[in-house]
Amino acid sequence: MAPNGVDPNEPRSVRAEEVYGPYPKNCMTPWKNSRDEGREGDAVDVENLKEIAAQNFMELPCDYRDKGTPDDWIPRDGRMVRLTGRHPFNAEPLLPELTKHNPKNPFLLPANLHIIRNHGTVPKLDWETHTLSIEGPLVSDPVKLSMDELTTTYPTTEFPVTISCCGNRRKEMNMIKQTIGFNWGSAAAGTNVYKGVLLRDLLKSVGVTAESVADMTGSFVEFIGNEDLGNKCGGPGPFPDEPWAEKVKYATSIPLAKCLDPADEVMVAFQANGQRLHPDRGYPIRLVIPGYIGGRMIKWLTRIRVIPHESHSCYHYWDNKYLPPQVTAEVAAKDGWWYKQDYIINELSLNSFINKPAHNATIPLAANIDKTMVVSGYAHSGGGRKVTRVEVSSDLGVTWNLADIDRKEQPNPYGKYWCWVWWYYDLPVAQMGKELWVRAWDTSNSPQAERPVWTLMGQSSNHVFRVLVHTETSPDTGKVVYRFEHPTQAGQQSGGWATRLAGKVKSAGYGEINLASYVD
């Protein structure tokens, strides 16, 4: 029997394994077989480990780099690029890893290759003891649910969602001028099929509906995780009830309307690609907000509160803001920019990426000049908007050629799209220019901007993606080749034309950035 207020017959779209499957299984590759080969570590039997990963990835051994950290109980894929040292764990795969597992259909990424953004130590939670409470001043009938109650008494839903950190491509921003964030590359995004309970069903069961709140636009749903994190704020903010303890929980909020709108599908998820969530990714439950940035999708979800204001957590305010480029860290703190509502980043931005040719890939000219080569990559939008067009330019944006879009996603009943698309363009090699550019369009009928806009947090970095083309003689073969150079390589890895911009860009991303003049 469904909980009070929940209509089990209401249509809940399930777009799952029969549509997108079979799901890619976890195929964890320990560090020994990654680019770290040669470093010290335990010897491993890779084939055996892959078998274990497919059955229960929690039985895999830990990465040697996690030894001595509070996370040394967590099996991790050795291919993930670590962006913030050993701990906390923030990682993305190399860009080519997004397709290697299934070059012809990279739509669903194996869960173990999915971007991870951890602010601190990963909470060690049990399915049997973890609870989710739904409470707050606008909740008439608060509840505390066990995981079994959550997952067996409520109707479930299942569909794919692309989750991306809005810091994706931040390293490009850091090369223009240092932001206050670390170096995400271009693969801080991934698509998994999530299974869970619709938040609006949970809210209905505690009496929260469009009719129950007096002021819907003034009502928010706050989500609180389980970590104990350092307080980001140096002193009291504008709210008397802001938590000022040394340690706080990660928390944020989104508008109640986003949670109640049947066109949206905010979900409390307990599975990705048919398996339990990985501890780094929120086990046992996390929030999934289709069309929003990853930063709002609280992991290790513990409390949901319906409140008559935005969350007062410092993590809600002092992060995920798209401030104007002239706002420095000092100005932001002094003039209250972190609290200005219009600069919040909720929706994922329209963005596109070139995966092939890969960074430093080459093709010999003589053997290919009469042929075409495949340029391909991914693109996504936010807010449910469909990516309607992807275009490639090999002449610095003078002409744009339509790429083929491989649209695997089926929209939800309200026509919303939550996932990346993969695109492919056959470029006649004879039309190779000095750069390869890609841009996407969505149903709002605006393309990505050409010039980058620098911001203090380096987020929503979504200008046209540019790959530089070098014509040079291969030291290996003595033949003339095109060599392709991506803007950056994630984290501390060297390489990428944007790294040569550092310190040379006029106006710090306000606009005057003639990239071409710096990269040749």
Residues that bind a copy of itself (CB under 8 A): 9-11, 210-211, 216-217, 255, 257-258, 261-263, 322, 324-326, 342-343, 345-347, 349-350, 381-383, 385-386, 388-389, 391, 393, 397-400, 402, 411-415, 443-451, 453, 460, 462, 506-507, 510-512
3-state secondary structure of 317: helix
- Residue number with CB closer to a copy of itself (28 or 293): 293
- Residue number with CB closer to a copy of itself (151 or 253): 253
The residue ranges of DSSP E strands in 408-457, in sequence order, are 421-428, 435-442
- What is the smallest separation between the CB atom of 403 and a copy of itself, expressed in angstroms? 11
- What is the smallest separation between the CB atom of 339 and a copy of itself, expressed in angstroms? 15
Listed in sequence order, the residues at least 6 apart from 283 whose beta carbon sits closer than 8 Å to its beta carbon are: 125, 276, 277, 300
- Residue number with CB closer to a copy of itself (252 or 412): 412
Residue 321 DSSP class: B
The token pair at 141 is 């009938």
Listed in sequence order, the residues at least 6 apart from 185 whose beta carbon sits closer than 8 Å to its beta carbon are: 81, 92, 95, 168, 169, 171, 488, 489, 490, 491, 493
Report strand pairing: 286-288 vs 275-276: unpaired
- What is the smallest separation between the CB atom of 262 and a copy of itself, expressed in angstroms? 7
- Residue number with CB closer to a copy of itself (302 or 393): 393
- What is the smallest separation between the CB atom of 320 and a copy of itself, expressed in angstroms? 11
The partner residues of 470 in beta bridges, in order of sequence, read 483
- What is the smallest separation between the CB atom of 267 and a copy of itself, expressed in angstroms? 18
- What is the smallest separation between the CB atom of 402 and a copy of itself, expressed in angstroms? 6
- What is the smallest separation between the CB atom of 326 and a copy of itself, expressed in angstroms? 7
Name the region of 255 (left: φ>0; alpha: ψ -120 to 50; beta: rest). beta
- Residue number with CB closer to a copy of itself (147 or 260): 260
d(CA 23, CA 278): 16
CA atoms within 13 A on the CB side of 1: 3
- Residue number with CB closer to a copy of itself (405 or 480): 405
- Residue number with CB closer to a copy of itself (320 or 489): 320
3-state secondary structure of 176: helix
- Residue number with CB closer to a copy of itself (237 or 397): 397
H or E element that contains 364: strand 362-364
Report strand pairing: 220-224 vs 189-198: unpaired
- What is the smallest separation between the CB atom of 387 and a copy of itself, expressed in angstroms? 9
| Amino acid identity at 88 | P
